[in-house]
Amino acid sequence: MSQRLFLLLLFLPLRLAGQEFMDLVPREYCLYWGDSLETELIRFAPNESVPQAVDKILAWAGREANFELVQCNAGSVAAVVDGEKRYLLYSQHFFYALPTPAEAYALLAHEIGHHLYNHHFESCCRRGEEWEADQFMGFILFKTNLTDSLSALDLANWRYEGRGFSRPEISVQERQTAIARGWARAEVAILASNHMAYYENQKNMEQAGLRSFPWPPPACAERYTIKDRLNTQFATLRDVDQWLQKALENRRYWSRSYRYLPNGFALITRLEQFNEDGSSKADPYRWVDYPVAEGSGGILDYLYSLILPRKGFFRVFVFAVTDQSEGSNGQVVDRAQAQKWLENASSQLPHALGARRLNEEHFVEVLVYEFQVSESTLKAKSHCPCAKPCREHLEKSGLLGRLR
């Protein structure tokens, strides 16, 4: 079958049964190609082939859709967040014009990746979100068997009508690195799925993209065990992960990463700025890495900061899921090291590791690391010991009630 015929069958337009205006004003989105989405989006009757392609991608990823698929006048393909709802918008005419099936799956996979990783397209996080979506693209391209690794990298510089990817936050070189990492992760996942003991070897774990979290953990953490004997409530590590994800997403901890622990994993939240009483700062102050006050930002606020510089309070939560209880390794971690825990880490729990069964020794322990930053010097120092117990951090952040 020729590539053109394959695309014709995959994205063949059907006779429209009707059309309607969408009650959607897209403000937060990723549009793969083009300057912006139409201000008036028109929903068309769906064909059968595009949902089939999306279903294949979800099956390869081992995930369920958390978005609504809509054929409309989107121009290309876009991941859109509208309040609590997520949409994957696509133009079937755009897909039919693509030269090969690989491009079609690549573009769909990138935007689906945004949804599966629960991205919200906030300006502070866009570079990292594009990186994760491209890693997912590389993972799916390996699964399609439609291209080789070098051709997959070329898709980072893919162009249509002389124009390429519409996001300036991430370079072509960075995109190629992300795609290559996703491709390699898919290769390793095949080995791991055939041999569960593969995940016992730390070298193999790092090849799979899941770096280790130091265990015993660094000193100066406040610790609190949420649950022990996890096997009485959950069957697998994936079940525990989904429970944690639900609690974190409810409190808007959308950006997080995974690292390996013996017989388990560590789920690490992004560096968060909190108020002195332990409550989370309001967005967008919550996620900036320098001290800010939730004031007017006017001249009086500025003059006050010159006389009495503010202190910024920051924390990182680590949810340790393992069956091996340990003390501390005695090393004090600084803010830069804590931030690196999120870099080059996996944004998703590997499928084979998530399938591991729990035993009666598995537990979930929360570690919180505190840091204080002076507004005058912007230098951070670790709070050792922490100023607040872990349970209080969990209560003030709103997480504790979601984790019971």
Q: What is the pLDDT of residue 99?
A: 79
Residue 196 falls inside a structural domain: no
CB 141 within 8 A of CB 105: yes
Summarize the confidence of residues 216-227 as an average pLDDT: 91
Q: Average pLDDT over the chain, rounded to whole?
A: 80
Helices 49-61, 3-10: inter-axial angle, 10-degree rounding: 100
CA distance linking residue 266 with residue 243, whole number of Å: 14
Question: Residue 129 and residue 139: Cα distance in Å, rounded?
Answer: 15
Q: What pLDDT score was predicted for residue 16? A: 46
3-state secondary structure of 338: helix
Instruction: Kindly state whether residues 184 and 252 are assigned to the same domain.
Output: no
Could you count the other beta carbons within 10 Å of the beta carbon of residue 60?
A: 16
Q: Judge if 255 and 392 occupy the same domain.
A: yes
- Asked if the peptide bond before residue 218 counts as cis, ω within 30 degrees of 0, the response is no
Same domain, 154 and 221: no
Q: Which residues contact 168 (CB under 8 A, 6 or more apart)?
A: none
- Rounded Cα distance between 17 and 163, Å, is 33
369 has which bridge partners? 316
Q: How confident is the model at residue 14 (pLDDT cuts 50, 70, 90)?
A: very low
Among 13-27, 58-72, 231-245, the range of highest mean pLDDT: 231-245
Predicted pLDDT at 303:
47
Residue 377 or residue 373, greater confidence: 373
Same domain, 341 and 238: yes
Is residue 209 over pLDDT 70? no
- DSSP for 179-235, written as a single string: HHHHHHHHHHHHHHHH-GGGGG-HHHHHHTT-PBPPSSPPBS-EEEEEES-GGGT-S
Residue 205 forms part of a structural domain: no
Residues 222 and 312 occupy one common structural domain: yes
Last residue of a domain, one of 157, 190, 223: 190
Average pLDDT over residues 25-37: 75
Highest mean pLDDT (candidates 6-15, 109-118, 322-331, 374-383): 109-118
Cα distances (Å, whole numbers) of residue 358 to 32, 67, 194, 237? 40, 30, 19, 7
* H/E run at residue 107: helix 101-116
For the chain, how many residues are written? Answer: 404
Does some domain include residue 198? Answer: no
In the 3-class helix/strand/coil scheme, how is 10-22 assigned residue by residue? HCCCCCCCCEEEC
Instruction: Please give the pLDDT value at position 159.
Output: 66
Whose tokens are 């089939």? That residue is: 52
Q: Do 325 and 223 contact (CB within 8 A), yes or no?
A: no
Mean pLDDT over residues 120-127, rounded? 76
Q: Are residues 225 and 110 in the same domain?
A: no
Query: Does 163 or 86 have the greater pLDDT score?
Result: 86
Q: Could you tell me if residue 126 is inside a domain?
A: yes
Structural domain includes residue 200: no
pLDDT at 190: 59
Residue 389, classified by CB atoms within 10 Å of its CB into exposed (0-12), middle (13-18) or buried (19+), is middle
Q: What is the DSSP string of 34-71?
A: SS---SS-EEE---SHHHHHHHHHHHHHT----SEEEE
Same domain, 358 and 286: yes
pLDDT > 70 in the chain, percent: 79
- Which pLDDT band, with edges at 50, 70 and 90, does 18 fall under? low
137, 160, 190 — which closes off a domain?
Answer: 190
CA dist 356 and 46 (Å) reads: 38
Which pLDDT score, from 0 to 100, does residue 392 have? 95
Angle of the 49-61 helix axis to the 126-144 helix axis, nearest 10:
100
For 310-336, how does the pLDDT look when each residue is reduced to its tens digit (9 = 90+)?
Answer: 678 899 999 999 999 888 877 888 888
Task: Output the pTM of the full model.
Answer: 0.63
pLDDT of 49 strictly over 90: no
Domain boundary, last residue among 190, 222, 239: 190
**Which pLDDT does position 188 carry in this prediction?**
64
How much is the average pLDDT of 251-274?
Answer: 89
User: What are the two backbone dihedrals, phi and then psi, of residue 312, each rounded to the nearest 5 degrees?
Assistant: -105, 140
Residue 133 lies inside a defined structural domain of this protein: yes
Higher pLDDT among residues 301 and 125, named by residue? 125
When pLDDT is averaged across residues 88-99 and rounded to a whole number, the result is 83
Looking at residue 328, its pLDDT comes to 82
Q: How far is CA 342 from CA 112, 170, 259, 316, in A?
A: 22, 18, 9, 10
Range with the lowest mean pLDDT among 45-54, 119-128, 161-170, 346-355? Answer: 161-170
The pLDDT assigned to 204 comes to: 54
Please give the pLDDT value at position 125.
73
If asked whether residues 152 and 228 sit together in one domain, one would say no
Which residue do the tokens 């290559």 mark? 180
Which helix H or strand E contains 143, and what residues bound it?
A: helix 126-144
Same domain, 36 and 180: yes
Structural domain containing residue 396: 210-402
Identify which of 143, 161, 160, 162 has the alpha carbon closest to the alpha carbon of residue 152: 143
Which backbone phi and psi does 175 adopt, to 5 degrees?
A: -65, -40
* Shared domain check, 253 and 148: no
pLDDT reported for residue 2: 57
Q: What is the rounded average pLDDT of the residues 207-224?
A: 82
Q: Which of 219-228, 297-306, 377-386 has the highest mean pLDDT?
A: 219-228
Q: How many domains does the chain have?
A: 2
pLDDT of residue 5: 53
220 in the same domain as 102: no
Neighbours of 56 (CB within 10 A): 15
Above pLDDT 90, what percent of the chain?
26
pLDDT for res 267 = 95
Q: How far apart are CA 189 and CA 258, in angstroms?
A: 16
Cβ(49)–Cβ(90) below 8 Å: no
> Does residue 220 lie within any of the structural domains?
yes
Mean pLDDT on 198-223: 70
pLDDT at 362 over 70: yes
Rounded mean pLDDT of 145-154? 81
For residue 211, pLDDT beyond 90: no
- Domain assignment present for 394: yes
Short-list 292, 247, 297, 239, CA closest to 269: 247
Q: Do 101 and 170 belong together in one domain?
A: yes
Residue 367: both structure tokens together: 């570690």
Amino acid 298: pLDDT? 45
> Tokens for 57?
């991608």
pLDDT confidence band for 15 (50 / 70 / 90) = very low
